[in-house]
């Protein structure tokens, strides 16, 4: 299987990076092909220029590579921290520029964009791993778990993803080494389950 793994965290010593390495290890054990992108390390430009709005726009070569990979992926893994109930801006910009019309979705003929799009992604499974310093109960009861809504309903579901699984690891700032090691074992188990 071709798996797109998208990481968005600026600190190479972060737990997000450890999650990404655990994913790579689990995927390699199963013999999957991995399209791994550390957006910060690659200095991904998150600004969507007006010239890219049209679905038939000529894309910069680096954006076309991302589009080609996400189109040919059988699965998607997204890793990022929870910043103000959102992904980091660099990942939002990746969504804006890569999960684009004619790549990730389309509107039916006669629809000017007011309807519900038809998903075009080949991938049927997506997994998101998030980190947070907010207690789970507060995240769900006060904030309504915005990352779950964003990835499952507002992005991946509309792009054709049938199976979505998300795990939140918290509270990172007070977690122990033992807790993090257990979380990483859980990451490998989750990857093996969804990408056999």
Over residues 147-173, the pLDDT tens digits come to 888 999 999 999 999 999 999 999 988
List Cβ neighbours of 16 (8 Å cut-off, separation of 6 or more): 7, 8, 9, 79, 80, 81, 129, 131
Question: What backbone torsions phi and psi does residue 70 show, to the nearest 5 degrees?
Answer: -65, -30
Q: What is the mean pLDDT of the chain?
A: 93
What pLDDT is recorded for position 185? 97
Share of the chain above pLDDT 90, in %: 79
Collapsed DSSP state (helix, strand, coil) of residue 150: helix
Higher pLDDT, 112 or 164: 164
Confidence at 109, pLDDT banded by 50, 70, 90: confident
HSE value, Cβ hemisphere, 13 Å, CA-based, for 128: 23
CA atoms of 192 and 162, how far apart (whole Å): 18
Rg for the chain (alpha carbons), in Å? Answer: 17
User: Residue-wise over 54-69: b if at least 16 C-beta within 10 A, else e?
Assistant: eeeeebeeebeebbeb
Identify the structural domains of the chain with CATH numbers, from first to last: 2-194 (3.40.50.360)
Within 39-156, strands assigned E span 75-81, 105-106, 118-119, 125-132
What pLDDT is recorded for position 134? 74
CA atoms of 127 and 139, how far apart (whole Å): 19
Reported pTM: 0.92
The number of beta carbons lying within 10 Å of the beta carbon of residue 118 is 13
What pLDDT is recorded for position 76? 98
List Cβ neighbours of 22 (8 Å cut-off, separation of 6 or more): 184, 187, 188, 191
List Cβ neighbours of 20 (8 Å cut-off, separation of 6 or more): 5, 7, 36, 38, 79
Higher pLDDT, 55 or 131: 131
Q: What is the pLDDT of residues 56-92, one digit of tens each?
A: 899 999 999 999 999 999 999 999 999 988 899 999 9
């Amino acid at each position: 299987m071709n798996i797109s793994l998208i990481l968005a965290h600026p600190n190479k010593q972060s737990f997000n990076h450890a999650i990404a390495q655990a994913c790579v290890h689990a995927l390699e054990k199963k013999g999957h092909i991995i399209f791994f992108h550390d957006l910060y390390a690659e200095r991904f430009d998150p600004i969507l220029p007006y010239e890219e709005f049209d679905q038939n726009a000529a894309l910069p070569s680096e954006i076309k590579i991302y589009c080609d990979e996400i189109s040919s992926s059988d699965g998607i893994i997204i890793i990022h921290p929870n910043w103000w109930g959102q992904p980091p801006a660099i990942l939002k910009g990746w969504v804006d520029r890569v999960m684009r019309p004619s790549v990730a979705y389309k509107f039916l003929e006669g629809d000017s964009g007011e309807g519900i799009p038809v998903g075009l992604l080949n991938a049927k499974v997506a997994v998101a791993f998030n980190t947070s310093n907010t207690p789970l109960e507060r995240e769900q009861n006060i904030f309504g778990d915005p990352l779950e809504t964003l990835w499952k309903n507002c992005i991946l579901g509309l792009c054709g993803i049938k199976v979505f699984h998300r795990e939140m690891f918290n509270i990172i700032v007070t977690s122990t080494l033992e807790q993090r090691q257990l979380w990483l074992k859980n990451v490998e188990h989750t990857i093996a389950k969804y990408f056999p």
